[in-house]
Amino acid sequence: MINAPKKNLGFFPTPIHKLGNLSKYLNAPSIYIKRDDLTGLAIGGNKVRKLEFLIGDAVSKNYNVIITGGAAQSNHCRQTAGAAAACGLECHLALGGDEPELFNGNLFLDKLFGAIIHWTGKYRKGEKIPELVEELKSQGKKPYIIPYGGSNEIGAYGFIQAVDELKKQMELIHEIFTHIVFASSSGGTHTGLIIGKAKYNLPFDLVGIQVDKGEDDQPSYEEVLLNLINFSAKVTGVNIDFNEQDIILIKNYLGEGYGIMSDLDREAIRITAKYEGILLDPVYTGRAMGALIDMIRNKYFCKNDKILFWHTGGTPALFSYSDKLL
């Protein structure tokens, strides 16, 4: 069983509200939004939910250093750096690419939160963490490893809890959503939502929009996701064997790859800003909203459907893409 104690880091429940203007503009069924861009810590985002349990685990086991990794503009790394700062822990980040001249967007915030950055060239998914851990141990430190995207059974637990939060909100507002649409990338969010839906016996379809093609020599994302789901279900005491048919993963919007905006991504960011005053991000939520818009246009949904778009954050990355958006 998972017994990672929770460390309160964010502000919950995150709001749910209707996107009336956008629904109208798109001539769409009702679209609602869940604002995990407003989880609070370090400009917010979905990783705060995972970090409450990951950092809780680290603190309860007396680790004094946090290490994780990701892309240079990783939202996960920025939120981890913020969480570590809030808990008085030293934070090391293994970031893909080479040191740039300008530290902007998430990278700027990593620095501001006091994280120590290690540049790892072509490795953008924390592949160099084991090496760095050995180095830190040799300096007498006790590093706690948070995997890429915070996506393991402990991080996913935060999203099982998020489903409980959603269930209570649906009861309060007397709405039952038919579809939840969200960006799916390292799998912790998708995992927690799938297990939570089963655990709390909820009716909606979980429509994950894949945003990262991945590498050809690596196992497919479905495979990774299914393993994480089944392992997490087991250790959290949800005795269900999930299979591929239980996962909805939309792969049509991978475009030219991770972090490269398509015209649809750009349109989604622009119209959500223009019609709702809400900021999406260039890597995840822009792509997920782009997919939602395209699926609405292609009649994926019925007239009476009630769609919840789960905004998973990422706002700071927008500032490092301004030249590609205007």
Q: Is 151 in the site for ligand PLP (CB under 6 A)?
A: yes
173 sits in which H/E element = helix 153-173
Residue 82 binds ligand PLP (CB under 6 A): no
- Separation of CA 24 from chain center: 27
Q: Which helix (H) or strand (E) holds 264?
A: helix 263-276
* Binding residue (CB under 6 A) for ligand PLP from 65, 183, 209, 278: 183
Q: How far is the CB of 299 from ligand PLP (least distance, A)?
A: 26
189 forms part of the interface with ligand PLP (CB under 6 A)? yes
Binding-site member from 14, 23, 30, 46 for ligand PLP (CB under 6 A): 46
Tell me: does residue 187 bind ligand PLP (CB under 6 A). Answer: yes
Question: Quick count: other Cβ atoms within 10 Å of Cβ 172?
Answer: 10
Token couple for 198: 């089963």
Are 40 and 11 in contact, with CB atoms under 8 Å apart?
yes
Residue 138 appears among annotated catalytic residues: no
149 contributes a contact to ligand PLP by CB under 6 A: yes
Whichever of 45 and 56 has its CB closer to ligand PLP, that residue is 45
Q: Spot the catalytic one: 30, 74, 185, 186.
A: 74
Residue 213 exposure: Cα atoms within 13 Å on the Cβ side:
11
Q: Which is nearer to ligand PLP, 193 or 307 (CB)?
A: 193
**Which of the residues 298 through 317 are near ligand PLP (CB under 6 A)?**
312-314
CB 314 within 8 A of CB 284: yes
Q: What is the DSSP annotation of 220-242?
A: -HHHHHHHHHHHHHHHTT-----
Q: What track of x and - describes contact with ligand PLP for positions 196 through 225 (by CB under 6 A)?
A: ------------------------------
Contact 289, 309 (CB under 8 A): yes
Contact residues for ligand PLP, defined by CB under 6 A: 45-47, 75-76, 149, 151, 183-190, 281, 284-285, 312-314
